[in-house]
Amino acid sequence: MRSLCLSLAFAACVVAMPAAEDYMATAFVEYASAFNKTYTEAEAPARFEAFKANIAKINANNAIEGSEVYGLTKFSDMSAEEFKQYLGYKPVISDAARDAIPVIEDSGNVTATTVDWRTKGKVTPVKDQGQCGSCWAFSATEAIESAWLMAGKPQQILAPQQITSCDKKDLGCNGGDTPTAYQYVEKAGGMVLNKAYPYTSGKKGKTGKCQNQKLRNKVVKISGFKYATKPKPNKGANVQKWQPGEDKMAALMTTSGPLSVCVDASVWQNYKRGVVTKTCKQQLDHCVQAVGFVKKKKSGRGKGKSGSYWIVRNSWNTDWGDKGYIYVGMGGNYCGISNEATMPTV
C-alpha cells in the first residue's frame, strides 16, 4: 500500500535517527514533496540512503571547476545501480563488424559558429524512455525522424517501441546500440508511427513481445546508415591510436543535420544546467541526439554556459535538464561524445 505522503511513511524511520541527520531527513521530505514522490514504509529507508549518496555526489561535482551545475532531480532518490536502467548502451557487434560499416568521408569544413536544428524544425519533441534501458532505440528513432525532416519530408513521430520490442539483435530494455537498431529498421522495411505502436515499455521496464499486427503501415524507410566519424574501438591496440573527430562531426552537422551520439551519462543523474566538461568520463553507457553546437571563446569561470558546447537532446522527458536538453563541452571529447556518432540515410 502506498503511503499518503512521504512524511507518514518516513516518520517511523527517523524516530531513532541521530540528531546530525535531522537536517538531511528534513531535506529528503522536502525533496519528495517537490518532486511528487511517495514511498512505502519499506522502501523509504533505501530511498533516503540513495538521496544522501546523491547529495554527496552533487557537492563533489559542484566543487570541480567548470560551468556545469548539479542539483536535485527526479533521479536523486535512486542508487547508481538503479539509475543504470536509464543508461541502456550495450553494443552487440564486434569491432570487426563495426569496421565494415562505412564512415562519411566528405564532411566539409566548419564555418558556422552556431548550429541549432531545433530552430529549423528538424528536431521532433523530447521523448521519455521511462523505466527501460531503451535509450539506443530512442536515439535511433530520433535520428531517423531528423533525417526524414532534413530530406524535406513532413514531420513523422515514429515508434521507439517498434525497435525496442522487435529488434532481436539488441536486448530491449536491457540495452542495445544504434547501428543494430538501424540494421533492424532497414531490414524491417521502415518504421511505423508512434500512435500506431505506442510506447509502453517505460511504465514497467519490460521489453514486450513484438506486435507484428501493428507494423503494417510503415511511413518512414531508411536505406542504411554511416558513422559520422571513425568510432572508437571497444578493445585492442587500436584503442590507443584512435583520435576524436569532433571537428568532422561539427562540419557534418552543419551541412547534413543532427547526429545520434552515444555518451557517458553517469553524472547526468543530477544535472541541472551549464556545460558538462570535467565531471564527465568516457565510458559509453547512454545514447542520445546531438542537435547543434555553439562555438565561442571561453568567457570566464562562471556557472553558466561558457566556451564551446554541443546541444544534446536526451530521452528523459522535459522535466530533466534544460527542458530535456543538456550542454556538453566541445573540443575535449567530453562524455565521449565523438566515440560513436551515426547518421541514417533516408
Helix (H, G, I), strand (E, B) or coil at 112: coil
| Active-site entry in 54, 61, 270, 314 | 314
Structural contact between residues 294 and 311, judged by C-beta atoms closer than 8 angstroms: yes
- Reduced to 3 states (helix: H, G, I; strand: E, B; else coil), residue 91 is coil
- Is 314 a catalytic site residue? yes
**Active site annotation includes 135:** yes
Q: At 215, phi and psi to the nearest 5?
A: -105, 15
Query: CA angle, corner 93, sides to 92 and 94, nearest 5?
Result: 130
Q: Which set of grid coordinates corresponds to residue 282? A: 568516457
| Crossing angle between the packed helical segments 178-188 and 135-150, to the nearest 10 degrees | 60
Annotated catalytic residue, options 132, 135, 280, 335:
135
Residue among 132, 173, 210, 286 flagged as catalytic? 286
Where are any strands of DSSP class E within the chain? 69-70, 114-116, 224-227, 259-263, 271-273, 275-276, 286-294, 309-313, 325-329, 340-345
Residues recognised as catalytic: 135, 286, 314
